[in-house]
Chain A
Amino acid sequence: MSLYETLLFFHVLGAFALVAGTVAIAPFALGWGHAALERTGAAKLAMTGSILSGIGAVLTLVLGLWLVGNVGYEFFRLWILGSLVFWAIAGYSNGELSRAARAVGKGEDAGRDVRVLWIVDLVGATVLLVLMIWKPGH
């Protein structure tokens, strides 16, 4: 397996982990399965999800930038700069969701509406995928 293939595999695996983590936060943020998980169970799943998402975010960023250098892409391209912006937006939302879930886990539920944060997180991840596939401005 070449360096390019290794980087690409772990970069894509990171993207899958990022999305899996985001989806795992959904029951907490949207109240899905409320009767099954209860608030603390959903918060526990959300905390696991945010860790998974965080690992995925680091893998996608570090290996993504490494790939840019390895392949020889120009850094100042719309799809690369746009990806960094949406990565930051998704990362911020994920961090806030993780904080809210941790608070609920500790029994300090402030009743914060995390639905919008989760939608921003999901939209950020979706736009990232769009940019990676269409590569506008390449």
Chain B
Amino acid sequence: MLAVVRPSAWNFPLFLHVGGAMALVASLVVALYAIRIARTRGDQPAAQFAFRVLWRFTLPAFIVMRVSAEWIASKEKLENSDDAWIGVGFIVSDLGLLLLIIGVVLTGLMARRAKQGTSVAGAAQLRAAGIIAGILVVAYVVTIWAMTTKPT
């Protein structure tokens, strides 16, 4: 099988899409660790760091990935495609955004509670945020599979 060389006009949106997706997954890996530290220590700096990773890195990376996905899809005329790999991409990305927002809100609330001097060690909200981050990493690996193998 020969790999197809795509038109050069597709390269920049594709670079943003793949780069954004890489930053998204990478920041989630850091967020997983930060949330675990916050759950263990329960103090303000740890909870604040977990929130900041999701708010300042994961969410912007998601936006870059998602906007450039629309851009490259429109260039390839795939907006209305019924192909399974496109469907997987959009479903994971849309549900992923919902989960990501829940994760940001949960860690934000815990950071605020910790700032008020209440320990958030072992907080169920942080546990939930950690589970969400884990689910997102797994979902994005499935999406990478769909994007590379392109099942129809």
Measuring CB to CB, which residues of chain B are less than 8 angstroms from any residue of chain A? 1-3, 5, 8, 11, 14-15, 18-19, 21-23, 25-27, 29-30, 33-34, 37-38, 45-46, 48-50, 52-53, 141, 144-145, 147-150
Contacts and interface: CB of A to CB of B under 8 A. Distances in A.
B45 A36 contact: yes
Q: List the 10 closest pairs (A to B, CB-CB), nearest first.
A: A36-B49, A23-B26, A35-B45, A33-B49, A20-B26, A5-B149, A19-B22, A36-B45, A9-B148, A36-B46
A116 to B, nearest CB: 20
Contact of B2 (A8, A15, A20, A71): A71
Contact of A9 (B34, B45, B149): B149
Interface string A36-51: 1100010001001100
B144 to A, nearest CB: 6
Interface of A: 1-2, 4-5, 8-9, 12-13, 15-16, 19-20, 22-24, 26-27, 33, 35-37, 41, 45, 48-49, 52, 70-73, 126, 129-130, 133-135, 138
Given A36-B50, A41-B37, 17 more contacts: A8-B148, A12-B144, A16-B21, A16-B25, A19-B25, A19-B26, A20-B25, A26-B30, A27-B30, A33-B52, A35-B45, A36-B37, A36-B45, A37-B46, A45-B33, A134-B8, A134-B11
Contacts of A73: 3
Contacts of B53: 33
The dominant DSSP class at the B interface is helix
A13 B61 CA distance: 18
B27 to A, nearest CB: 6
A9 B33 contact: no
A23 B27 contact: yes
Contacts of B19: 126, 129
A134 B1 CA distance: 20
Given A71-B3, A134-B11, A48 B33 contact: yes
B49 A138 contact: no
A135 B26 contact: no
A19 B23 CA distance: 7
B16 to A, nearest CB: 10
Given A16-B144, A19-B22, A23-B23, A133 B30 contact: no
B26 A24 contact: yes
Contacts of A72: 2
Contacts of B22: 15-16, 19-20, 129
5 contacts: A5-B148, A9-B148, A19-B23, A24-B29, A37-B37
B52 to A, nearest CB: 8
